[in-house]
Amino acid sequence: MMREFVVEADGGSRGNPGPAGFGAVVRDAATGETLAETAEYIGTATNNVAEYRGLIAGLRAAHAIDPAARIQVRMDSKLVVEQMSGRWQVKHPGMRPLAAEARTVFPAGQVGYEWIPRERNKHADRLANEAMDAGARGGQWQPPDRPAAPVAETADSAAAPAASEVVLEPGPIAESGAAVTAGEAERRTPPVGWAAPADLGTPATFVLLRHGETALTPQKRFSGSGGGDPELSPAGRRQAEQTATALAARGTIQAVVSSPLRRCQETAGVVAARLGLDVRVEEGLRETDFGAWEGLTFGEVRERYPDELTTWLGSSKAAPPGGESFAAVTRRVSAARDRLIARYAGRTVLVVTHVTPVKTLVRLALGAPAESLYRMELSAASLSVVAYYADGNASVRLFNDTAHLR
């Protein structure tokens, strides 16, 4: 005999968009017994995104118990119920991937949807609020019989798998001299990545997207802001579409900012169109001007400009012939960062830019030395995330993530 479950789900956002969470409960339809509870703080998101995330979590919890069960979903979200029932179209591009994901958990014939008033959805509502309360305390919701666990450090804790939630793996940057003495560490503010005090509020979060490939990218040629303005290649346009799909599914991006160069504006335009947002151009995000080296490979530069290359590799203040030094790039990127932090305080913004600006923002957030720029690898259309708190601290939450391109 086929088992029957009731899934009650809810989600909320304190700000819409703002700090958000969801809750869901699975009950035995015959006895009313609670079989499973789930809740999660998901960072900054809208009410609708949180509600959809609650639905998906509830369906998955039911599926884990019995994938052959018949499911009756009950929610107080008229939007989600009508859209999932097929009576309303899913018009918002950010909702479509979530609705599609919900439909993949069970075959359509096994799931029914019912709208209920809020007072009949108190259990799921309570779980969602518990999740948001836990997030405000710097923690993550856990069932009552277990102690609370810390929130994983990600741009959107509901969107990225645990493997991507590491702040940054030890490697070349750590070996480059970025370590501080014990005395210096004692004098510093406790790093946000370890323990973010609740009173710091919601950070300004930069989701840093390197543009998609151009014809020069696979050839590893210097491509800055002084040697033409290449467009995306067909591969680069596919990467932009893949990124747009992934970010729409997360539903956390609230604004899009781009470098003025074409390859970034094309990438940003694809994502912004999917999210229903406009693109704001920030001049300070343009790539380094590589001067006479524009269009050349590293090997060609080493052959034609051996002395200049040696000097450039040895000092961030050195510039390619007719170009721009990394020290100069740092000054303008820092100024752009400060403008964006002020403009998007407490919000999550997609920043579409280039290799050097992304590396510079990560380096500055880590307090790493200038030479660390040479020790980071950054792939085309990769995502990195830095959060900026009100006390001036910054937290690197993700670096060079390309999982959305696979």
Taking only the tens place, the pLDDT of each residue in 143-172 is 765 443 343 333 333 333 222 222 222 222
Q: Which residues contact 144 (CB under 8 A, 6 or more apart)?
A: none
What is residue 207's three-state secondary structure?
Answer: strand
pTM: 0.56
pLDDT of residue 250: 86
Residue 177: pLDDT over 50: no
pLDDT of residue 123: 96
The mean per-residue pLDDT over the stretch 173-189 comes to 31
Residue 323: pLDDT over 60: yes
Taking only the tens place, the pLDDT of each residue in 40-66 is 999 888 899 999 999 999 999 999 999
Q: Taking all residues of the chain, what is their mean pLDDT, rounded to a whole number? A: 84
**Rounded CA gap, 200 and 402, in Å?**
30
Taking only the tens place, the pLDDT of each residue in 88-124 is 988 887 788 899 999 999 998 999 999 999 999 999 9
Compute the 3-state secondary structure of the chain and give helix, strand, coil in percent, each to the nearest 5: 40, 20, 40
Say how far residue 318 (Cα) sits from the centre of its chain: 34
**Rounded CA gap, 38 and 203, in Å?**
26
**Rounded CA gap, 103 and 96, in Å?**
11
Provide the annotated binding site. 263
Confidence of residue 71 (pLDDT cuts 50, 70, 90): very high
Provide the annotated binding site for substrate. 263
Taking only the tens place, the pLDDT of each residue in 256-304 is 999 999 999 999 999 999 999 999 999 999 999 999 999 999 999 999 9
Which residues are designated catalytic? Answer: 211, 287
Output Rg (C-alpha) for the chain, integer angstroms: 24
Instruction: Specify the DSSP class assigned to residue 161.
Output: -
The domains of the chain, with CATH numbers, are 4-137 (3.30.420.10), 204-405 (3.40.50.1240)
